[in-house]
Amino acid sequence: MKKVVILLLSGLACISSLTGCSEPVDPAELTEKYGPEPISANMLAQDIYDTLQYEWDLFDSLSAEQKMISSHIPGICYKDFADWVTCEEFLGMSVPNPLEEATWLDNGTYVGMPEGFRDTPHVQASWYGTKEGHVEWLSVQSGYRDGDIRVTLDAMMYGDPAEGKSTDSGWSIELERQHDLTNLGDNSVPVTEGSGEGYVSRTAYLAQGYVLYRIDVIGEPDMQGNVQETLEKVLLDFDEA
């Protein structure tokens, strides 16, 4: 059985779990009122758009019958990297990540498993864009190890909704929930606490500049104290960056 609660690290005040927004939220209003700031089209390298165009051309080359049975999702792109800096060079923009330089952490796969696990890369970038070339969201994921504890980072960025719209805008209920989480209180870091049959976890949300960070720390059920300690060290690295 899974359990999820939400904590504010500043004062560790526990509040009830969030399951999503009760009413739709206009993405334009979100970008005006809350962080992170949207990224503009000219901030990304041409390789992003070339890859996006290739994915749409590939989908368009399929027949109607092939499209019906294909698992290919048009507009979704993926690219793997050995390190964070190489990924930044591909994106054409800086995405701050203090964990990449943290000497107390070992590099892992982007899902937090030990390096070399099933040839999974350390960093994976994914993004979605419309056929017209508007990038609606971009995610960079990386993973680390603190002993037996898994640490994963998801740096999420979102395109300016004023630059383009589609039937699938990428501004999902989950994004709306994350915006709410990052604005629960001044100088507070919202943290969700989870547990299941084989794990305990902490998930923190930070909005800085153009980036909404999701940080997951996961350990065995008897490692709750260690998981909390690791999370606090991770957040300290962000605070000191």
Q: What is the pLDDT of residues 114-135, one digit of tens each?
A: 998 999 999 999 999 999 999 9
What is the C-alpha to C-alpha distance for residues 230 and 202, in angstroms, rounded to an integer?
A: 10
pLDDT above 80 (res 175): no
pLDDT at 10: 40
Q: Is residue 95 part of a domain?
A: yes
Mean pLDDT of the chain: 82
Q: What is the pLDDT of residues 140-149, one digit of tens each?
A: 999 999 999 9
Q: What is the pLDDT of residues 225-235, one digit of tens each?
A: 999 999 999 99
Q: Is residue 45 part of a domain?
A: no
Q: Which helix (H) or strand (E) holds 28?
A: helix 27-33
pTM across the whole model: 0.80
Q: Is residue 179 part of a domain?
A: yes
Q: Is residue 49 part of a domain?
A: no
Q: Is residue 81 part of a domain?
A: yes
Do 128 and 148 touch, CB atoms closer than 8 A?
Answer: no
Do 41 and 134 touch, CB atoms closer than 8 A?
Answer: yes
Please name the residue that has the structure tokens 């990297």: 81
Q: Is residue 166 part of a domain?
A: yes
Q: Is residue 188 part of a domain?
A: yes
Q: Amino acid identity of 162? A: A
pLDDT at 54: 95
pLDDT at 5: 41
Counted domains in the chain: 1
Identify the domain containing residue 109 by its residue range: 3-9+31-37+74-240
Q: Is residue 235 part of a domain?
A: yes
For residue 19, the SS3 value is: coil
